[in-house]
Copies of this chain bind each other. A is one copy, B any other.
Amino acid sequence: MSIVVTNISRDARQYAGEFAELGVATTHEAQGRTGLLDCRLRPIYRPASIAGTAVTCEVAPGDNWMIHVAAEQCQEGDILVVTPTSQCHDGYFGDLLATSLRARGVLGLVIDAGVRDIATLTEMQFPVWSAAVCAQGTVKETIANVNTSVICAGQRIDPGDLIVADDDGVVVVRKADAATVLERAKERVINEEKKRARFEAGEPGLDVYGMRERLAEKGLRYVDSESDSE
């Protein structure tokens, strides 16, 4: 009863380039601190920074068959998102699959499991965010779904959603929200740049953010160490 959904919408791809520059932390803040994948997903090399449309792929534990099926569904500008149907650290993905994905224009891989051949992947500069690095091989026996809605590292990802990944981790932006989130993220950057200038000039954050009054209301007290009996 497993299916491969073809011809998914990639309308959000138009925003990918700008999201890649904005990065994960800013994107995550701009959409109200939602959408962040669990921080067990780490890049296999740094720095790395991409954004693209999700092609989603379920795999059975210790079985990478469906990655081969999913690869064929990938297009220029996609990011392959792989999630095991139960927790597994095996090395599902290596340099041959990376070669195949790159030939199709895929930007990188996000996988809540293990990968291998990371020396070659690093040389190729094919970026991967994974839960583990492990040479343990996999079999090809069990089918599962491609391009259905999945939960990957604690977040729901639908095919065509935007994935933004950098050294801080991975965040998903719903395809329908991409334009709005992008707008807010840009505003946030402008706002941050103004603050950065004030911080660089040595102005205390308590003034930059206007926090002193509220801290006093909460009861924060300043005590000179000479008189401190704590």
Residues of A participating in the B interface, judged by any CB pair closer than 8 Å = 1-9, 23-25, 28-29, 32-34, 36, 38-39, 42, 46-47, 49, 60-63, 65, 68-69, 71-72, 85-91, 94-97, 99-100, 103-104, 114, 116-119, 122, 132-137, 139-143, 147-149, 151, 154-156, 159, 166-169, 171, 192, 195-196, 199-202, 204-206, 208-209, 211, 215, 218-226, 228, 230
Contacts and interface: CB of A to CB of B under 8 A. Distances in A.
A92 to B, nearest CB: 11
Contacts of A211: 65, 68-69, 140
Contacts of A159: 225
B28 A135 contact: yes
A61 B88 contact: yes
Contacts of A136: 28, 33, 36, 39, 86
| Copies of this polypeptide in the complex | 6
A69 B220 contact: yes
Contact of A225 (B7, B99, B117, B140): B7
5 contacts: A39-B135, A60-B62, A61-B88, A62-B85, A96-B199
A82 to B, nearest CB: 14
Contact of A133 (B9, B42, B63, B99): B42
A13 to B, nearest CB: 15
Contacts of A68: 205-206, 209, 211
Contact of A89 (B1, B25, B87, B134): B87
